[in-house]
Chain A
Amino acid sequence: AQSVTQLGSHVSVSEGALVLLRCNYSSSVPPYLFWYVQYPNQGLQLLLKYTTGATLVKGINGFEAEFKKSETSFHLTKPSAHMSDAAEYFCAVNPVSGGYNKLIFGAGTRLAVHP
């Protein structure tokens, strides 16, 4: 069965520092890949997704992620953290053979941004 591993349940960075949130998936066939963000007391919203084509994907709010098939990874980065980036981030995969947009979520990484 497919699984998603997010390394680090909590990540803390200073404002202006690089943000790196790690995501690895287990699959012999590369799935479709997503990052969602959840702000406090809100639902999830899509940051970015990879389906096919260019492996570097740009999303909203200055985030981007790179699909690396050889490493089965889809890490999320942002060059300079802002206080408003404090939230929980979820990596998710959709098996190519899912058929109904099934999403399998990682456990999430809570990002704290300090002044």
Chain B
Amino acid sequence: NAGVTQTPKFRVLKTGQSMTLLCAQDMNHEYMYWYRQDPGMGLRLIHYSVGEGTTAKGEVPDGYNVSRLKKQNFLLGLESAAPSQTSVYFCASSRGASGTPDTQYFGPGTRLTVL
């Protein structure tokens, strides 16, 4: 099993450009998440999904959109990139609600720089 994979690994954008980050998991997990990691702030939840076709806002959703058309994929889009979106983006997945929290499995991250 590859686990959680993310593409691309690195990207540099100019202000105003758009891009999509792809997350894929092969563990048949129901839940998927997008986080951003900034120095001194830990990880903050951008959007999440509790199943195919569903998405919801997390803690810092502004400027991002997501889609979950297939259970194994979770896409994060930036329509008009801003320098404040320079960050490392992590995708994660977990089995789903089971009475107690499941372990979240993380991808290797995408380092995005917006100039």
Contacts and interface: CB of A to CB of B under 8 A. Distances in A.
Interface of A: 4, 9, 32, 34, 36, 41-46, 49, 51-52, 90, 94, 98-103, 105-108
Interface of B: 4, 31, 40-45, 48, 50, 56, 58, 90, 92, 94, 96-97, 100-104, 106-109
A92 to B, nearest CB: 8
Q: Which of A32, A49, A101 has the most CB of B within 10 A?
A: A101
A43 B42 contact: no
A39 to B, nearest CB: 11
A49 B102 CA distance: 10
Nearest to A107: B42
9 contacts: A4-B42, A32-B100, A46-B104, A49-B101, A101-B97, A105-B43, A105-B44, A107-B42, A108-B42
Given A43-B106, A44-B90, A45-B106, A106 B42 contact: yes
Contacts of A49: 101, 103
Nearest to B96: A101
A45 B107 CA distance: 9
A108 B42 CA distance: 6
Contacts of B104: 44, 46, 101, 103
A43 B41 contact: no
Given A51-B100, A52-B100, A43 B48 contact: no
Contacts of B106: 36, 43-45
B33 to A, nearest CB: 8
A46 B19 CA distance: 30
A46 B92 CA distance: 12
